[in-house]
């Protein structure tokens, strides 16, 4: 089965240090900073809504940074490409509604099953066919339905806590509207800085959070095997990893002139999902935005060292997860809501464009509506039924689109 895995190129010993320079360090740092800001806010938002404790949230953040940082270091070194791995953001958002009617142990069991599925797809080489078999507009209709809450939370944050949310939105708009400025300071990081300044000026800092540095103490999570959790989460989680996240990552890397090893990456996502599940963290994926940052500048042959920088910083961040989690949880609620909403605003826009641009538009609309309604059936959440309903409607009324 492992014969399907792509072989790495011949490597020159000790070459990485010679290939590393200021530009690669800057791209690597910004790539890590992107992952450590708004995407972490999404984890905190989902986890706190789902009733997870601070220790469980810190363990989740440890898993997605430490485990995926190690995989990033290995793959960037081995394949000499900027292959940055983190975690599925759509999958994280999918977990939120599930925690309302499933136990966390059942969700962890679904993480394990998703990891095994991705291992099999990568090792057998079936992953390419699996990615092509799922109509992207229907998937993105479901994703838009799941992400809509975060866009609404952004509006609510502006209404409820204008002093915190407004400076963040203004900073994001200014940096997004001025590309030259945005290249120096990414909009999301600018929004983060504006929010921190607003919190300090308004005296909204929780002094109790600024304690001593604390190293990670991962909470080992025993899985529970539930048919409802498997049906609701495994297929949607695998789709968000393989189609939504990895598909975006592959496209970004190919546009930059790289040839990412699709089967090997899928196996790595499966292995990472299994390791992350042990500490209660959501499944691993090849990230699109971070890899776009790593390939934004510099010679293509040296861009892998930016990935090595990102991986090393991710490992360190994971080891210090409890300290960062405590600080983030002490921030005003509007800060997390605004940062998460801004992080997903472009993704929500893309989801709507892909869903209704061309084929499968009716199926995508049905998937969106069923997901937004958030009405489960047989103790299985709406995201799964959104996919089923969207596919069924397209198969009945948009049969020509399948050709």
261: DSSP letter = -
Residue 308: closest CA among 87, 85, 28: 28
User: What distance in Å separates the CA atoms of residue 120 and residue 345, rounded to the nearest whole number?
Assistant: 33
Which residues lie below 8 Å from residue 8, measured CB to CB, with a gap of 6+? 78, 79, 80, 261
More confident: 329 or 139: 139
pLDDT band at 209; cut points 50, 70, 90: low
Residue 255: CB atoms within 10 Å: 10
Query: What is the model's pLDDT at position 206?
Result: 63
Give yes or no for a contact between 341 and 169, defined as CB atoms under 8 angstroms apart: no
Q: Give 84-102 pLDDT, tens digit per residue.
A: 999 988 889 888 888 988 8
Residue 347 is inside which H or E element, if any?
helix 333-356
The residue with greater pLDDT, 206 or 6, is: 6
Q: How far from 67 is each of 73, 209, 377, CA to CA, in Å?
A: 10, 26, 35
**Nearest in space to 101 (alpha carbons), one of 295, 261, 232, 245:** 232
Q: State the average pLDDT over residues 201-228.
A: 78
**DSSP structure class, residue 7:** P
Share of the chain above pLDDT 70, in %: 93
In tens, the pLDDT along 260-272 reads 898 999 999 999 9
Domain locations in the chain as residue ranges: 19-158+209-402
* 118 SS3 class: helix
pLDDT at position 64: 94
Residue bearing the bigger pLDDT, 212 or 86: 86
Cα separation, 81 vs 109, in Å, equals 32
Residue written as token pair 């990081």: 189
Lowest mean pLDDT among 171-175, 276-280, 287-291, 374-378: 374-378
**Mean pLDDT over the full length of the chain:** 84
Q: Distance between CA atoms of 226 and 232, rounded to whole angstroms? A: 10
CB 280 within 8 A of CB 57: no
Collapsing DSSP to helix, strand or coil, 377 comes out as strand
Is residue 347 within 8 A of residue 147, CB to CB? The reply is: yes
Asked if residue 30 lies in contact with residue 151, where contact means CB atoms within 8 angstroms, the answer is no
With 0-12 CB in 10 A as exposed, 13-18 as middle and 19+ as buried, what is 227?
exposed
Exposed/middle/buried for residue 159 (C-beta within 10 Å: 0-12, 13-18, 19+): exposed
With a pLDDT cut of 90, the percent of the chain lying above it is: 28
Write out pLDDT tens, residues 107-149: 999 999 999 999 999 888 888 777 777 787 887 887 788 778 8
Length of the chain: 403
Question: Looking at residue 126, what DSSP letter applies?
Answer: T
| C-alpha atoms less than 13 angstroms from C-alpha of 399 in its C-beta half-sphere | 2
Tokens 């196996």, residue?
267
Please tell me the predicted confidence (pLDDT) of residue 312. Answer: 95
Q: How far apart are CA 21 and CA 6, in angstroms?
A: 28
Q: Is residue 28 a contact partner of residue 306, using CB atoms and an 8 Å limit?
A: yes
180 or 119, which is more confident:
119
pLDDT value, residue 325: 80
Lowest mean pLDDT among 166-180, 212-226, 241-255: 241-255
Identify which of 1, 19, 36 has the alpha carbon closest to the alpha carbon of residue 77: 19
Q: How far apart are CA 105 and CA 94, in angstroms?
A: 16
More confident residue, 222 or 326: 222
**Look-up: residue for tokens 């948009």?**
398
Residue matched to tokens 């400076």: 167
pLDDT over 90 at 68, yes or no? yes
Contact between 223 and 109 (Cβ < 8 Å): yes
* C-alpha of 177 from chain center: 24
User: How sure is the predictor about 193, in pLDDT bands with cuts at 50, 70 and 90?
Assistant: confident
- Asked if the model's pLDDT at residue 74 lies above 70, the reply is yes
Are the CB atoms for 387 and 138 separated by under 8 Å? yes
Q: How far apart are CA 89 and CA 340, in angstroms?
A: 11
């Amino acid at each position: 089965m492992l014969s399907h895995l792509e072989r790495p190129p011949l490597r020159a010993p000790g070459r990485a240090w010679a290939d590393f320079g200021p530009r690669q360090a800057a791209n690597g740092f910004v790539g890590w900073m992107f992952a450590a800001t708004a995407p972490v806010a999404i984890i905190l938002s989902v986890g706190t809504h789902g009733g997870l404790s601070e220790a469980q949230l810190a363990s989740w953040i440890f898993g997605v940074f430490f485990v995926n940082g190690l995989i990033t270091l290995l793959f960037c070194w081995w394949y000499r490409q900027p292959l940055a791995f983190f975690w599925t953001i759509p999958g994280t958002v999918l977990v939120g509604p599930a925690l309302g009617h499933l136990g966390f142990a059942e969700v962890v069991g679904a993480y394990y099953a998703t990891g095994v599925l991705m291992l099999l797809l990568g090792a057998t080489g079936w992953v390419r066919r699996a990615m092509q078999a799922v109509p992207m507009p229907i998937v993105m209709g479901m994703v838009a339905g799941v992400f809509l809450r975060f866009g609404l939370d952004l509006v609510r944050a502006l209404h409820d806590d204008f002093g915190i949310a407004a400076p963040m939105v203004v900073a994001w708009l200014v940096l997004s509207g001025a590309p030259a400025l945005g290249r120096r300071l990414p909009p999301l990081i600018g929004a983060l800085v504006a929010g921190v300044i607003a919190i300090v000026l308004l005296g909204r800092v929780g002094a109790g959070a600024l304690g001593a540095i604390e190293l990670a103490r991962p909470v080992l999570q025993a899985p529970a095997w539930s048919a409802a959790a498997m049906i609701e989460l495994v297929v949607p989680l695998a789709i968000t990893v393989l189609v939504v996240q990895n598909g975006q990552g592959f496209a970004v890397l190919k546009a930059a002139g790289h040839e990412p090893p699709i089967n090997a990456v899928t196996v790595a996502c499966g292995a990472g999902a299994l390791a992350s599940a042990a500490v209660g963290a959501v499944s691993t994926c090849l990230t699109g935005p971070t890899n776009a940052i790593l390939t934004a500048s510099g010679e293509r042959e040296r861009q892998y060292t930016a990935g090595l920088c990102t991986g090393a910083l991710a490992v360190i961040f994971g080891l210090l997860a409890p300290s960062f989690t405590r600080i983030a949880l002490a921030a005003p609620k509007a800060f997390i809501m605004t940062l998460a909403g801004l992080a997903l605003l472009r993704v929500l826009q893309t989801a709507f464009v892909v869903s209704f641009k061309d084929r499968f538009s009716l199926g995508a609309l049905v998937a969106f509506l069923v997901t937004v309604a958030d009405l489960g059936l047989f103790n299985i959440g709406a995201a799964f039924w959104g996919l089923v309903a969207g596919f069924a409607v397209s198969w009945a009324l948009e049969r020509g689109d399948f050709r």
